[in-house]
Amino acid sequence: MSRQIFYIFFYRLASGKETGQYKTHMKIGIMTGGGDAPGLNGIIEAASRTLLLQGHEVVGILDGFEGIFENRTRNITLQEIHGIHAQAGTFLGTSNRTKVEGRAEEFQAAFAKLGCDGLIAAGGDGTFIGLSKIAPNLPIVGVPKTIDNDLQGTDITFGFDTACTVVSEAVDALRYTAEAHRRVMVVETMGRTAGWIALGGGLAGYADAILIPERPFSREKLKNFLVEKRNLKIKGLVVVISEAAKALNEEATYETVEGAIHSIRYGGVGERLSKWIETETGWESRYVVLGHLQRSHAPTTTDRFLTASLGALAAQLAMAKKWKMAAVYRNGIVTSAPLTEIQGPPRTIDPDHRWVKLCQSLGIYI
């Protein structure tokens, strides 16, 4: 997939199908918003390189929306971004707690003060919905970002492959301690209401069971599955559970966090499931919450190819003044789409998705 992303994108770039002509010198701002994701630095480096090598000026906006409101920026040079694509986090900083509602005039005045001709923003639906409300006429190009892989309008979001890699490596490692102590190890993943990370990472690690929000599980069937494995003298098992997964006729485990962009914060389901397994099945059980480890890993090769192509395309769209567009991955290629198409409710897993069927073929409980 990585080579296909790269080759097809640059063929389209060379043929001029995506970008049109551009010659005027421009000053473009780059911002990362919302939670961090592996590959953000790849977007910054690829977009900045593309712009700078064409003689344009690039202004890095620090800490998301806060950098605009507080006029905190840095001029980006080729020297200082060289190689940052390999690093986790974001060179510019980010924030998912800045209040933007009701601050339209303030935002527009602050952005005008920056003197930028346009903005490239890498963020989730919250970033783009917020911008559309407070600055509907903002000249912007978007790059959809979330490790959860649940944004509309794109088949894959950068950071997802890296998050799945963290999960699969955890499954591989924890299988050893599971078998050493004859335990069931429960691995809790991120993902909010979408189970993509649990499913992708769990499948890649051949977890014994994968529990996702889109397929509420039967406690009775899961119990029978685990007891059967114990009776077969299996040494140990690994169960992967998404943070918003739940049993049939039950609610997901969450807490309410005042002042956060997402006021509902899921988590704790791994601990609850582990205790239930010990009580109901005879297996000893322990749990691991991977949490922000899924965000802080250096991007995988696949995410590096993806962000190189997405970042370069975002820059080309900006130079061509094709505003209110997004750089996305669809049907095997990196292409552009209206920014409105990446906004909307979370893109969740079809309960009969091909990955679900593959799990079933492999004997993985799901």
How confident is the model over 70-81, as pLDDT tens digits? Answer: 999 999 999 999
For the cut 90, the answer to whether the pLDDT of residue 24 exceeds it is: no
For the domain covering 2-159+299-342, report its CATH number.
3.40.50.450
User: Rounded distance, CA 30 to CA 81, Å?
Assistant: 13
CA 301 centroid distance within chain: 15
User: Is the pTM of the predicted complex or chain greater than 0.95?
Assistant: no
Check for a shared fold between 2-159+299-342 and 163-294: yes
**Residue among 117, 148, 208, 303 flagged as catalytic:** 148
For the cut 70, the answer to whether the pLDDT of residue 20 exceeds it is: no
Q: Are strands 333-338 and 325-330 parallel, antiparallel or unpaired?
A: antiparallel
148 noted as active-site residue:
yes
pLDDT for residue 21? 54
Query: Does domain 163-294 sit in CATH 3.40.50.460?
Result: yes
For the cut 80, the answer to whether the pLDDT of residue 19 exceeds it is: no
**What would the mean pLDDT of 229-256 be, rounded to a whole number?**
95
**Three-state secondary structure of the chain:** CHHHHHHHHHHHHHHCCCCCCCCCCCEEEEEECCCCCCCHHHHHHHHHHHHHCCCCEEEEECCCHHHHHCCCEEECCHHHHCCHHHCCCCCCCCCCCCCCCCCHHHHHHHHHHHCCCEEEEEECHHHHHHHHHHCCCCCEEEEEECCCCCCCCCCCCECHHHHHHHHHHHHHHHHHHHHHHCEEEEEEECCCCCCHHHHHHHHHCCCCEEECCCCCECHHHHHHHHHHHHHCCCCCEEEEEECCCCECCCCCCEEECCCCCCCEEECCHHHHHHHHHHHHHCCEEEEEECHHHHCCCCCCHHHHHHHHHHHHHHHHHHHCCCCCEEEEEECCEEEEEEHHHHCCCCCCCCCCCHHHHHHHHCCCEC
- Please state the domain extents for the chain: 2-159+299-342, 163-294
For the cut 50, the answer to whether the pLDDT of residue 153 exceeds it is: yes
For the cut 80, the answer to whether the pLDDT of residue 216 exceeds it is: yes
CA 58 centroid distance within chain: 25
Amino acid sitting at position 328: V
For the cut 60, the answer to whether the pLDDT of residue 54 exceeds it is: yes
